[in-house]
Amino acid sequence: MNLLTRYLAREIYASVLLVFASLLMLFSFLDFIHELSVMGYGKYSLGYVLAFVALTIPGHIYELFPVAVLVGTILALVQMASRSELTIYRASGASTMQMLAALGKIALPMIVISFLCGEFLAPPSERMAQKLRLQAMNSKVSLQAFRSGVWVKDGKSFVNVKNVMPDTSLSDIVIYDFDETFHLKSVVSAKGAAYLEPGLWKLTDVLQTSFSKSGVTTDSMKSQSWKSELTPGIMSVMLVVPEQMSALDLYQYAEHLKENRQQSARYEIAMWNKLIYPFALLVMMVLALPFASYQRRSGGVGVMVFLGIVLGLAFHFTGRLVASLGALNNWQPFLSATAMTIVFLAIGVVMIWWVERR
């Protein structure tokens, strides 16, 4: 059984790598074409475009993993079926449960690789890509959540940030500080802010307006310390969308939002999706197993691969749709993140039962 599992693993890994190479070349080419439309802005030359495309590849690897595993496994199994190798495999005494166990062993290394890529490789790579692009174009990130910028609740203060620079320093900040009774104590506006250490920022070109019973006073300073729970990690949320952040960063930011009584559903759903997503590879393998039985009646390898691509894309896009609906309607985060994985697992189990029944 171990010998047959090793042979099956070699065939599946080779097919998955082939599919991965094809998909990555396609998506990288599309990214390259898209970036050509903005090439020439500032210092954004061809070299920067190629570097940007290269840095986005880890993100594509993570996103495309389930599709590549599904299509690659279908390709390997259908080819083995066409050569009667699966018939020999079953004739040697391998049951459906043993086949599923073998696929589980084969999926385990890919699950680990997917998790490591999504948690440690893709997020910093995506962040570097965005910073490289912004710096080369001599631009800054404009926060358009509202016309006035992005608003963040920080303890008893409300902070309005117009722009986040590529190095996560801030520009055009207004801090509204309230007292225990929610009366406005002061308004601090600054041209810029740099992170010094945990809990401490340095504001530059500061104008502070204080309100008290005796009246209103205004002071201007070249610099001022600002104690805040905000960190560059939290502010980097504005540079990278939640789906491209690590699970740890998503958890920290979601906790920050909940502590300040703000909506955190989108970030919680993205966090659970990060944790569950690698296990979708095992679901894709379960879904691929029944396809080998249809090879002769359905028109061969091409039809099976096409169906695999359709199913893989359906899983990817419907998963995102459900996550978005969950964030909009404030559904339970764990269920929103796992709904499509559970649905596709059920489809795979039903297909296997139907094949075995025949």
Same structural domain, 220 and 280? no
Predicted confidence at residue 64, as pLDDT, reads 92
Does residue 222 lie within any of the structural domains?
yes
Domain boundary at 228, 255, 283, which? 228
Residue 119: both structure tokens together: 């948690």
Same structural domain, 21 and 90? yes
Same structural domain, 205 and 133? no
Q: CB-side exposure of 191: number of CA atoms within 13 Å?
A: 7
Does residue 142 lie within any of the structural domains?
no
Same structural domain, 174 and 296? no
Same structural domain, 72 and 168? no
Question: Does residue 161 contact residue 168 with C-beta atoms inside 8 Å?
Answer: no
Same structural domain, 210 and 178? yes
Does residue 253 lie within any of the structural domains?
no
Same structural domain, 51 and 95? yes
Which residues of the chain are under the pLDDT cut of 70? 1, 138-149, 165-167, 233, 236-240, 294-300, 358
65-84 pLDDT, tens digit per residue, is: 999 999 999 999 888 888 87
Does residue 58 lie within any of the structural domains?
yes
Question: Does residue 187 contact residue 251 with C-beta atoms inside 8 Å?
Answer: no
Same structural domain, 186 and 126? no
In total, how many domains does the chain have? Answer: 2
Domain boundary at 228, 251, 283, which? 228
Q: Identify the burial level of 182 via C-beta atoms within 10 angstroms of its C-beta, where 0-12 means exposed, 13-18 middle and 19 or more buried.
A: exposed
Predicted confidence at residue 142, as pLDDT, reads 44
Predicted confidence at residue 244, as pLDDT, reads 78
Does residue 25 lie within any of the structural domains?
yes
- Distance from C-alpha of 139 to C-alpha of 121, rounded to nearest angstrom: 25
Residue 296: both structure tokens together: 């002769």
Does residue 302 lie within any of the structural domains?
yes
Q: Amino acid identity of 34? A: H
Predicted confidence at residue 166, as pLDDT, reads 60
Same structural domain, 131 and 161? no
- Distance from C-alpha of 162 to C-alpha of 238, rounded to nearest angstrom: 11
Give the containing element (helix H, strand E) for 57: helix 46-82
- Interacting residues of 306 by C-beta distance below 8 A, sequence separation 6+: none
Does residue 254 lie within any of the structural domains?
no
Same structural domain, 70 and 126? yes
Does residue 241 lie within any of the structural domains?
no
Same structural domain, 93 and 40? yes
How would you label 12-41 residue by residue, b for 16+ Cβ within 10 Å and e otherwise? bbebbeebbeebeeebbeebbeebeeeeee
Show the domain range for 109.
2-137+265-357
Same structural domain, 195 and 126? no
Question: Does residue 148 contact residue 160 with C-beta atoms inside 8 Å?
Answer: yes
Give the number of other CB atoms < 10 A from CB of residue 153: 14
Domain boundary at 228, 248, 280, which? 228
204-234 pLDDT, tens digit per residue, is: 999 999 998 888 999 999 999 999 888 776 7
